[in-house]
Amino acid sequence: MMIPVISSSLKQYIIVITVNLSVFCLGLDVAWPSPMLVKLRNPEETPLTRPITEDEGGWIASIGYLFSIFTLPFVGYLVDLIGRKYSILVMCWPKVIAALLTVFATEVWMILVARVLTGVTNTSSILVNMIYCTEIASSEIRGALGSVLPLLASLGVLVVLGIGPYISYLNLSILYTVIITCSCIPLIFIPDTPYSLYSKGKIEEAEKVLTSLRESKTVALEEMKQLSHREPKQNFDKRELFTNKACLKGLIIAVVLSMGIQIVGYNCISFYLQTIFEITNTSVSPAFSSVVIGLIQLMSGIVSSVISDRCGRKPILITTLFGMAAGMIGLGVFFTLTQHGVKISGFLNYLPVISVAISSWCYCGGIGSQYFVLITEVLDGPARAIGTSIGLEISTILVFLLTRYTMEIMTALGADTTYFVFGAVCVLLALFVLFFVPETKQKTIAEIQSALSGTCRKENEESSEYDSRF
């Protein structure tokens, strides 16, 4: 009996899905505050010695991102120092410890420590996984592979939103611990990326891995030839990020997108989803609404992964950002009406659910998924880890501030004004993508760098030290 041969594309999908099991766990963590803060505030449901306060709830949702601000800069160096695979493995232990802390928590400080550990490892995992997926992906399916990360994150969100409101704190914590532990085991068997191996002088091993991931040895050898155009550089001169034209443009795009993915306001909806539906006082159950939004996020991620390499990154981003703006404006209109004492009935009763659904679909199918592809596509070689870590550092600072002070911002500006501002930001970001972000669909990294530097590909291959398939 013949053993069926696994295609190169299927191999890439299997490896990327395995790597991103940690991101599925990130989705669990992201959605965790939505049902669990409600339980922790309830004297009858909390496992703690007392219910938490509103201020403590804000810290529980955001403290992990605060600590990530200080640890994330070192991760960019770590992935180059020990390689992509071993960086991923290092992230496993803190997650398991955090999960166990969550199970046995009896005091607020135990929850806070667990959230610190999960926050730090989650942001680090995003950085490493983004780099890993880009460096093993064929240009033909790089967009689809990059969409696996947000897709699995959305699946994790759906799991928590779907069962979190209906089971006890303890049962959800035990389930979370089991999932975390099981997701770590397959990571032992994944290969390191060809670029990471090549940069450490492991030429034969890099060629072996690349050959197994491509449809023919000829294609693999061609990519190895592109790698050999320059000597591996262990000590990358950070000034090149600002003096090399392609690097500088790529860094600017990465920074703006990293800011945009937070200041469009979606996380201010996601982290407090159930709480927002409770504030609106509509007849729609907050728990049921949260599940519906989770399903929308998942379906949007699936659609995005299918069409990313067909429609292109720019059309998807521009369309969905305008869609997000419409959803945010819808929320702004709802809160304007309620603040002016307008009786909510009929269609208006469902306006917040519809608006959040539109924003969720557009975010998860747009910048929420394309960001993870684009930020590593516009950065190349040794600049990728450093540039990506800079972008994620900025994004982490913003997500902490917005998550921690969402309610304070709404109180100061008013909920309606807050969402109108988010809508305006979505429009501005769409215009930035339209005029400044190159289309990267099915282009090699070398071709993308050529577009950023304004040179033809052949010239760039001969003159730029950053021109490589990776």
- Output the pTM of the full model: 0.71
Assign 238 a pLDDT band (cuts: 50, 70, 90). low
Structure tokens at 233: 């550089």
Rounded CA separation 26/157 (Å): 8
- Report the percent of the chain where pLDDT is more than 70: 85
Question: Residue 275 above 70 pLDDT?
Answer: no
Q: What is the pLDDT of residue 463?
A: 38
Structure tokens at 423: 């809508």
- Report pLDDT digits (tens) over 143-159: 778 778 878 887 888 88
Residue in 205, 180, 33, 6 with CA at minimum distance from that of residue 112: 33
- Report pLDDT digits (tens) over 162-186: 888 888 889 988 998 999 899 889 9
Whether residue 136 contacts residue 47, with contact meaning beta carbons closer than 8 Å, is answered with no
- Angle, in degrees to the nearest 10, between helices 313-339 and 415-436: 160
DSSP 7-33: PHHHHHHHHHHHHTHHHHHHHHHHHTH
Question: Residue 382 above 70 pLDDT?
Answer: no
Question: Residue 467 above 80 pLDDT?
Answer: no
At 443, which amino acid appears?
K
Whether residue 414 contacts residue 279, with contact meaning beta carbons closer than 8 Å, is answered with no
Question: Residue 321 above 90 pLDDT?
Answer: yes
For residues 178-205, give the mean pLDDT: 87
- Cβ-proximal residues to 6 (8 Å cutoff; 6+ apart), any chain: 14
At 431, which amino acid appears?
L
Count, residues in the chain: 470
- A 10 A CB-CB count for 112 gives 17
Q: How far apart are the first and last CA of the chain?
A: 38
DSSP 23-68: HHHHHHHHHTHHHHHHHHH-TTT--SSSPPPHHHHHHHHHHHHHHH
Assign 69 a pLDDT band (cuts: 50, 70, 90). confident
Which of 69-83, 241-255, 270-284, 371-385 is the least confident region?
270-284
* Domain annotation for the chain: domains and CATH numbers: 9-190+236-463 (1.20.1250.20)
At 289, which amino acid appears?
S
Q: What is the pLDDT of residue 457?
A: 45
Quick one: residue 443, left, alpha or beta (phi over 0 = left, psi -120 to 50 = alpha)? beta
- Report pLDDT digits (tens) over 3-31: 445 777 888 889 988 988 888 888 888 78
Rounded CA separation 36/96 (Å): 19
The torsion angle over the Cα atoms of residues 362, 175, 37 and 410, rounded to 10 degrees, is -10
More confident call, 291 vs 334: 334
Residue in 93, 100, 115, 123 with CA at minimum distance from that of residue 187: 93
For residues 206-231, give the mean pLDDT: 75
Question: Residue 292 above 60 pLDDT?
Answer: yes
Rounded CA separation 144/148 (Å): 7
For residues 63-92, give the mean pLDDT: 84
**Residue 52 DSSP one-character state:** P
Let me know if 426 is exposed, middle or buried by CB neighbors in 10 A (0-12, 13-18, 19+). Answer: buried
At 92, which amino acid appears?
C
Assign 468 a pLDDT band (cuts: 50, 70, 90). very low
Instruction: State the residue for tokens 């093993």.
Output: 136
Assign 240 a pLDDT band (cuts: 50, 70, 90). low
Structure tokens at 223: 């990519």
For residues 33-54, give the mean pLDDT: 87
Quick one: residue 442, left, alpha or beta (phi over 0 = left, psi -120 to 50 = alpha)? left
- Report pLDDT digits (tens) over 395-427: 888 888 887 777 788 788 887 898 899 999 999
Structure tokens at 45: 């449901």
Mean pLDDT, the chain, whole residue set: 80
Structure tokens at 162: 């779907």
